[in-house]
């Protein structure tokens, strides 16, 4: 087939609304992907845009994220071969739930913070019906699309602020973004076809995981390329704060404490990559566990901790590394992507082995003696 490597690029990744998402950098990142890759891992998958690109390239794709709402996207778009949500599934999801009294978390905790009561009740009802979808991939699509619908309805697309309903009452903001006042059900029905249309089989056994990457890496084998897009520590690393509502909704926690004005959950999941006290130790462990993977691509930001030079030194103990940079000319939200900051890509390859002759070895030995 002509242009065999592009045969899956007719399937479009549904554009995310996610701080730090790499969908706008995919062509740039792809230009540094080495030849002859058969298996790739996206270790901090987030929106799953890079994992989706690996799947489009025909690679066996392993996707991972320690937040479950991101893992649901991976199940829906990466692991999924051919499953879609049907009209019959929607009837099931939108019907009056039989066990509604067990599902009142959104109404009780988030009414008048992010949603008015009617919308919160709809979300609880929908969540009560998700388990009725017996196919786990269908459940993942349902979670993925309802979570995307919630971000569409919130100004800035995240839940780290308390201005959602204030903005939804501002005529000027509504003119720019009518999603602020549209029902979530309507948004869901509009978005779903884009996700159904993005489902394809690249003839590989792709997997999506919801694990600590340091626990997952020892269990994967024969990986040719690792893509690392860790939280940009000291830049925009607080994904649990920004997207706490999506994780709360997916997990439907009833044993968490919900704090601050945004009602984020506490305690948060341990990352290891988002706090200065942990991040260098975590990177050292990450690189040690990935040493047998020949090629790495590492996304970073020039405003992150540790700094570029120190981070390059950490990497250079394991790989030959080249630093590529791309400047943000317009801000994209988040401290790490303000105008003037740089998106960094560390292109890491196996260290070159230098041939040393027997005579040179003997000369070195004589010098030591």
Rounded Cα distance between 14 and 191, Å, is 9
Q: What is the mean pLDDT of residues 67-75?
A: 98
Confidence bin at 86 (pLDDT 50/70/90) = very high
Q: What is the mean pLDDT of residues 62-69?
A: 98
Pairing of strands 225-228, 342-349: unpaired
Q: What is the mean pLDDT of the chain?
A: 92
* pTM attached to this predicted model: 0.92
Q: What is the mean pLDDT of residues 158-165?
A: 94
The DSSP code sequence of 42-85 is ETT-TT-HHHHHHHHTT-EEEEE-SSHHHHHHHIIIII-SS---
Q: What is the pLDDT of residue 48?
A: 97
297-306 burial, b at 16+ Cβ within 10 Å, e below that, comes to bbbbbbbbbb
Rounded Cα distance between 317 and 297, Å, is 15
Q: What is the pLDDT of residue 335?
A: 47
Q: What is the share, in percent, of the chain residues with pLDDT greater than 90?
A: 84
Tell whether the model's pLDDT for residue 309 goes beyond 70.
Answer: yes
- Tokens matching residue 286: 């990450």
Q: What is the pLDDT of residue 364?
A: 47
Confidence bin at 21 (pLDDT 50/70/90) = confident
Tell whether the model's pLDDT for residue 304 goes beyond 70.
Answer: yes
Contacts 24+ apart (CB under 8 A), 348-353: 348/295, 348/296, 348/297, 348/298, 348/315, 348/318, 348/319, 348/320, 348/321, 348/322, 349/34, 349/294, 349/295, 349/319, 349/320, 349/321, 350/294, 350/295, 350/319, 350/320, 351/318, 351/319, 351/320, 352/320
Q: What is the pLDDT of residue 353?
A: 72
Q: Which of 106, 152, 146, 112 is nearest to 130 (CA)?
A: 146
Decide: helix, strand or coil at residue 323: strand
| Residue 325, beta-bridge partner list | 344
- Does residue 267 have a cis peptide bond before it, meaning omega lies within 30 degrees of 0? yes
Rounded Cα distance between 163 and 314, Å, is 41
Domain residues of the chain, as ranges?
4-349
Longest dimension (CA), the chain: 85
């Amino acid at each position: 087939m002509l242009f065999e490597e592009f045969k899956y690029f007719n399937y479009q990744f549904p554009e995310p609304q996610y701080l730090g998402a790499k969908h706008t950098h995919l062509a740039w990142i792809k230009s540094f992907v080495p030849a002859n890759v058969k298996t790739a891992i996206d270790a901090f998958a987030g929106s799953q845009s890079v994992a989706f690109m690996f799947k489009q390239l025909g690679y066996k794709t392993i996707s991972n994220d320690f937040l479950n709402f991101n893992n649901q996207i991976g199940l829906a778009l990466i692991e999924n071969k051919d499953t879609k949500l049907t009209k019959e599934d929607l009837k099931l999801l939108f019907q009056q739930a039989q066990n509604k009294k067990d599902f009142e978390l959104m109404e009780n905790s988030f009414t008048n913070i992010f949603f008015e009561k009617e919308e919160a009740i709809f979300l609880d009802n929908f969540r009560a019906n998700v388990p009725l979808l017996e196919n786990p991939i269908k459940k993942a699509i349902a979670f993925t699309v309802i979570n995307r619908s919630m971000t569409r309805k919130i100004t800035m697309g995240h839940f780290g602020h308390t201005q959602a309903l204030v903005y939804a009452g501002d005529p000027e903001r509504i003119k720019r973004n009518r999603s602020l006042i549209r029902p979530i059900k309507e948004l869901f029905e509009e978005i779903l076809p884009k996700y159904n249309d993005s489902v394809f089989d690249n003839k590989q056994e792709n997997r999506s995981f919801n694990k600590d990457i340091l626990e997952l890496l020892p269990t994967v084998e024969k990986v040719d390329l690792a893509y690392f897009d860790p939280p940009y520590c000291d830049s925009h690393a607080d994904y649990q704060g920004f997207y706490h509502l999506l994780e709360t909704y997916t997990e439907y926690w009833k044993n968490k404490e919900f704090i601050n004005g945004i009602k984020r959950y506490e305690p948060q999941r341990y990352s290891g990559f988002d706090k200065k006290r942990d991040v260098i130790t975590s990177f050292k462990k990450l690189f040690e566990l990935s040493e047998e993977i020949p090629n790495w691509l590492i996304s970073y930001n020039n405003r992150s901790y540790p700094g570029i030079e120190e981070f390059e030194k950490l990497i250079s103990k394991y790989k030959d590394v080249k630093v590529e940079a791309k400047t943000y000319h317009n801000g994209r939200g988040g401290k790490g992507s303000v105008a003037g900051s740089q998106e960094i890509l560390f292109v890491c390859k196996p260290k070159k082995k230098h041939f040393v002759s027997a005579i040179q070895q003997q000369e070195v030995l004589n010098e030591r003696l």
